[in-house]
Structure 1
């Protein structure tokens, strides 16, 4: 159940496979990985996951320090605690990796995602979509007589709930950035 008390995947109108429930013993973890910003590093990190059959639910990467040429990769993955520990150990052994943090277990953290959601509708469906957009604090960034595009920022669960509510109102397309996460408090990473 999400914050709106709507079970995930409860609508039969949704064309989107929202986050499925985890298998028994599996956990969802958010990893922050500080790496050298050089060619091929992202491919090596992704190769570690694909080569061992680990799933990546979300991936974001960007340079965060221009002087030292370092990038931050945020990865949301699932697995048993033993698999997660194995992933962290293997990432730590990679040469271009400077630091690996499991934000899920290291204390409170903030996770946000940006999404663009296109809805096509007329009449009551259009009015209802705009009303729900206001409730979720979604910003209309493009509009035509037939459709509009919402911009929504928040926790992944908030975006999941909004997408699910838009499905019966004329949901056309969704583009998501992936999770950006940061530990709360005075420490870095």
Structure 2
């Protein structure tokens, strides 16, 4: 995980109607809240152990978006993402926003933050896979300039059988 100097550079803050939103590196203390969201929105959720391993990797880019009214109020995690940088490539492995906060721009904020981090880390490309039935996510990725580069048939399990993965990439 990044040192404290980088942690400050990688934190992001916006003010929205007296509401503070911060994107910060994911830490162990965030995992219980992340797990609630993960179980809420993912058909095959990651385990707590997977998240713990992710944040321990030197090449991980894991962040949460926190919401609070002011600095004295306890903030709540409303979304997160986990990516990894290997050589000059970033792979987005997991991104989610709590159901009651979806379609409010928080996923867009997380993705934009990842793009900034990838550029800062001198990555040349970001790759991801997305369920072919997740139209909202595909549109979000396309709005950032991601292009479809392939398809993995029957990649994901779903309540109705198998679902293909759409492969997408963005050259930086």
With normalisation by structure 1, the TM-score equals 0.23
Structure number with greater Rg is: 1
Higher relative contact order, structure no. (Cα contacts within 8 Å, ≥ 6 residues apart): 1
Greater helix share, 1 or 2? 2
TM-score (norm 2): 0.25
